[in-house]
Structure 1
Amino acid sequence: MGFLYARALYDGTKGYTMTNSPNNNNPGNGDSGDGRDPLEDFLKKMQESGFDPSDNNNPLGASSLNPEDLKNMGLPFDPSMMQGILEQMNTMFSINATPGSTPEQGVNWTGVKDQARRMIAADSDPSIAENLKQAAADAAHLADLWLDSVTVFERHNIPVEAWSKAEWLDASFNSWREMVEPVAAEVTQAMVLPGTDNVPEELSQLLGNSGFLNNLGSTFFGIQMAQALASLAKEVYSSTDIGFPLAPGRTALLPNGFKTLGDEIEVPAQEVLLYLAVRESALIRLHRTNPWLREDIMALVSRYARGIRVDMNRIQDAASQVNMHDPEAVQEAFEGGMFNPQRTEDQELAVERLEALLALIEGWVSFVADQATQNLPKAPQIAETFARRRVEGGPSEQVFETLVGLEIRPRMVREATAFWRDYDEKHGYEARDNLWLAPETLPTAKELENFKKYEDRVSEQLSFDDVDFDSELKKLLDGGYDDNK
């Protein structure tokens, strides 16, 4: 949304007019009646009032908006709307890259984190009470007892923590940065504002020191990321809620989240906490035993990012057509649609693998949690809530779609859950969990749709492993090879 204001401001300097405004007495020319351009006057006044986009603490300075100035520009003086615009502009400049930087230098990550923290603070985010911290620790202990009988993966022995939303952001931010940095690099390069050489002197003087125009891509991506993380902080229940650990070496539950969930589905908060503790502990066990999982996820995101193309035509069309008098229309114009839907062949391969891997992780933890919580009366109801959450777009789906442009299909998660259930019934949980030892032993996306294909492939591999490999290894160790043959 911040890009829209920048674009509208930029277009305004090239003759952009609000011809639909009921207050515009000079439609089509943007003239104040005495030959002066009202937008130029407006920009000069902002400069004179202390506007400094390079000042991350207060880029808008002491700027004030005079109703007459807005009227001359064809804008209605709606205090609430203008406050929103000011807040968006403040966000844009606080997240903007360091003054004098180039597009290659990328996103101002400190600004992104600070902005996300401010957005979280604007919502309710109380500190975690001591009794809730103890409740989380007790739930984690019981969860481990239940899990010991349904998985071969050993306990992680990491003390469980209880986080607020802000603490979740602080603990997880480095992982988010690691994951989206390849995407941000592509976006930054693709979204350099065209035609900046023709920017009028007033706008150039106003924004020049901030590097805003040259760093538009990184600024826009930073705004989008801050908004996504602040929104996600309201929905996550644990440190692994998107499918893998966001704070390696730590594990945590978010008590304020499970209390809200319990109220929504009318289930005792203690049962919700126990179910979430089981999921959290199961995922930590899975990833600590199989560290290649997280590495593969990061590598696949990076591989996908290399083929990303930003849909600049859509962004520019939205900027030129949006009704600036309607704040909701402004918001809707820039929700999604940032990435070009056309994928390269390599991207398709990366997407297929990433989607299957995330689905297998979620399917496994869903099935294992069901097994471990059979003595929890409301467990089926809680599990159904998580399934519905995925269909409606849970944290994992949201973050990959918003920040990476990747859509994860809920249907594949259902197929993965069914796969783990079927394999467990046929071979037992030890054989089931041993499939995680290497990527090659897991089913592909196509094999999730047809278990028979997977069984045929694995049976062939196991036959070779059990007979041919062992016998050949014995020959080698016994010195039974004849080099002359």
Structure 2
Amino acid sequence: MSDLPFGFSMPNDPDDESGRRPGDSGSGGAGSGRPGGGDSGTPDGFPFGDPQQMANMLRQFADMMSAQPAPGGDRPASASGINWSMAKDIARQVVAQKGDPSVPPADYAKVQEALRLGDLWLDQSTALPSGIQSIQAWSRSEWIEKTMDSWSQLCDPLTSKTVRSMGQSLPEEMRSMAGPLLGMIQQMGGMMVGQQAGQAVGELSQEVVGTADIGLPLAGEGNAALLPLGVEKFSEGLEIPDDEVRLYLAAREAAVHRLYAHVPWLRSHVFRLVAEYADGMSFDVSGLEDRLGEIDLTDPEALQEVLGGAGGGQGLFQPEDTPQQKAALNRLETTLALIEGWVAIVVSGAVDGRLPQANALAEATRRRRATGGPAEHTFAALVGLELRPRRLREASALWTALEEARGIDGRDAVWQHPDLMPTGEDLDDPAAFVSGGAFTDTDFDISALTDEAPGVAKDEGEKDPRKDEPGEDS
């Protein structure tokens, strides 16, 4: 289980060992603001040092954070308190610093051709029609713009639970003494998470190949895209022709869009499982008081190191594995494995006999997903949850057995309703699922998934002049 990416520690005054408040004279007057200091205005045992000094430092830090320029104008925070608009700005700054050339017209045309051809090949390996409505090639900045809304939806249930826990997880006596400062602490935590999210998504954009790296169309259903620079990076070390790599990745992109376009419950199901996982979060605050005072709140770099668990450190609030959390995680991992396994089988059937290095590409993709691709690692760093299909081979075996027993239509018809989907136990024994009485008695109707299916759009309504470049159409 990954550690959550941030914690919070509140300091005693690192510079004033006498405990005097700012502005106090060197003798007489106020006593120490620390426990037992004799200051009648300070509660005995107050864990944060002098309350007034603490308040001043919190306000100074909040002012410093809010003073950052806002290139996009106002940047409202989400319901969780995380400022995702600011996160997007930071992500784009990360990309700009590393260089982000626009997609050349020739590369744009190659991506369009690959997506159209890969989607066409899928017709023979799945009963689900095309789910693509637009075909594009993106720079890394464009990927950030198009996918940030999905990242915020995925992360909000988990990050908001942790930010709230900055106050709620404190012992009751500490909450009563901290008073209104806790609200400011939570606000600062939300701002810091927004910064971390922006940095992480910016770094992630250097690695992704399309919109569906995690088995979820991050730019929305129907909006298929590849990043030429991402495809190029994926190709490094494979010694496989670029055109072949591009076609294979395009077929994967198109397969994910087919699935989500014709399984309307799937996207909300994945998001609900993430929310259930967040609901099961519990935090171990034992030793909380021992860690108070270890960070100087006036030092932003030191604070960010604690918030981010940098250098191998752990945040203040550490998640505990609860039965509810473990059950939700198992359901989520099973769903992700079933999605990835289906995509792998469908793409294999589509490219078989067409791409000479299909097996090598499939293995490279499987390793990337099974060991945790860049998208999974970024998500884990953000919210303490790994989006990893740990049982990918078992899921692929189940879909293969189902296809052999019922054909392509029978295999794909299982997606009609979540109640028909295999469970984690079914992955242990695919043959039992395929031959089970409840399954064989089910009347599958693939038309329920394919009625009113959208076709592949030829960029209708798009004004990008690059779409008319020579060589675009296959």
TM-score, reference length from structure 1? 0.70
Residue 272 of structure 1 corresponds to which residue in structure 2?
Answer: 245
Give the direction of change, closer, same or farther, for the CA distance of 1:147–1:402 in structure 2 (3 Å limit). Answer: same
The one-letter code of the counterpart of 1:419 is: L
Moved more, 317-326 or 121-130: 317-326
* 8 Å CA contact retained: 1:238, 1:252: yes
After the TM superposition, which residues 241-320 of structure 1 pair with which residues of structure 2 at under 5 Å, given as runs? 241-248=213-220, 249-311=222-284
SS of structure 1 residue aligned to 2:225: strand
Q: Does 1:165 align with 2:125?
A: no
SS of structure 2 residue aligned to 1:393: coil
Find the structure with the greater CA-based Rg. 1
* Alignment size in residue pairs: 402
Residue 151 of structure 1 corresponds to which residue in structure 2?
Answer: 126
* 8 Å CA contact retained: 2:5, 2:382: no
After the TM superposition, which residues 1-150 of structure 1 pair with which residues of structure 2 at under 5 Å, given as runs? 7=9, 10-11=10-11, 13=13, 52-53=63-64, 55-57=66-68, 106-150=81-125
The one-letter code of the counterpart of 1:56 is: A
State the distance in 1 between where 2:184 and 2:421 align: 47
Residue 447 of structure 2 corresponds to which residue in structure 1?
Answer: none
* 8 Å CA contact retained: 1:96, 1:212: no
State the distance in 2 between where 1:464 and 1:386 align: 34
State the distance in 2 between where 1:312 and 1:332 align: 21
State the distance in 1 between where 2:101 and 2:139 align: 7
Instruction: Give the Å deviation of 1:16.
Output: 8.9
* 8 Å CA contact retained: 1:191, 1:312: no
Q: Does 1:191 align with 2:172?
A: no
Give the direction of change, closer, same or farther, for the CA distance of 1:319–1:274 in structure 2 (3 Å limit). Answer: farther
SS of structure 2 residue aligned to 1:215: helix
Instruction: Give the Å deviation of 1:358.
Output: 0.7
Residue 351 (structure 2) aligned to one of 373, 383, 394: 373
Instruction: Give the Å deviation of 1:307.
Output: 2.0
Higher helix share: 1
Q: Does 1:331 align with 2:306?
A: no
Residue 213 of structure 1 corresponds to which residue in structure 2?
Answer: 185
* 8 Å CA contact retained: 2:76, 2:85: no
Q: Does 1:431 align with 2:406?
A: no
Q: Does 1:453 align with 2:456?
A: no
Instruction: Give the Å deviation of 1:51.
Output: 10
After the TM superposition, which residues 403-418 of structure 1 pair with which residues of structure 2 at under 5 Å, given as runs? 403-407=382-386, 410-418=389-397
Instruction: Give the Å deviation of 1:96.
Output: 10
Instruction: Give the Å deviation of 1:220.
Output: 3.7
Q: Does 1:355 align with 2:328?
A: no
The one-letter code of the counterpart of 1:447 is: D
* 8 Å CA contact retained: 2:336, 2:389: no
State the distance in 1 between where 2:74 and 2:210 align: 27
Residue 479 of structure 1 corresponds to which residue in structure 2?
Answer: none
Q: Does 1:343 align with 2:322?
A: yes
State the distance in 1 between where 2:316 and 2:389 align: 20
String of CA shifts for 1:42-67, please: whole Å, max 9, x gaps.
x9xx99x99942643359xxxxxxxx
The one-letter code of the counterpart of 2:405 is: K
* 8 Å CA contact retained: 1:191, 1:310: no
Structure 2 stretches lacking a partner, 5+ long:
28-49, 445-474
State the distance in 2 between where 1:174 and 1:15 align: 43
Give the direction of change, closer, same or farther, for the CA distance of 1:190–1:276 in structure 2 (3 Å limit). Answer: same
More relative contact order, 1 or 2 (CA 8 Å, 6+ apart): 2
The one-letter code of the counterpart of 1:233 is: S
State the distance in 1 between where 2:111 and 2:316 align: 39
The one-letter code of the counterpart of 1:433 is: D
SS of structure 2 residue aligned to 1:340: strand
Instruction: Give the Å deviation of 1:403.
Output: 3.5
Question: Please, what is the CA RMSD of the aligned residues?
Answer: 4.4
Residue 207 of structure 2 corresponds to which residue in structure 1?
Answer: 235
Give the direction of change, closer, same or farther, for the CA distance of 1:155–1:51 in structure 2 (3 Å limit). Answer: closer
Structure 1 stretches lacking a partner, 5+ long:
18-28, 60-93, 467-485
Residue 399 of structure 2 corresponds to which residue in structure 1?
Answer: 420
Give the direction of change, closer, same or farther, for the CA distance of 1:256–1:15 in structure 2 (3 Å limit). Answer: same
Instruction: Give the Å deviation of 1:280.
Output: 0.5
* 8 Å CA contact retained: 1:189, 1:217: no
Residue 386 (structure 1) aligned to one of 365, 369, 379: 365
TM-score, reference length from structure 2? 0.71
Moved more, 440-449 or 113-122: 113-122
* 8 Å CA contact retained: 1:304, 1:350: yes
SS of structure 2 residue aligned to 1:265: coil
Residue 35 of structure 2 corresponds to which residue in structure 1?
Answer: none
The one-letter code of the counterpart of 2:204 is: L
State the distance in 1 between where 2:397 and 2:63 align: 58
The one-letter code of the counterpart of 1:364 is: W
String of CA shifts for 1:372-423, please: whole Å, max 9, x gaps.
1122112211111111112321145325533343345554111101111222
Instruction: Give the Å deviation of 1:171.
Output: 0.5
Residue 197 (structure 2) aligned to one of 225, 230, 235: 225
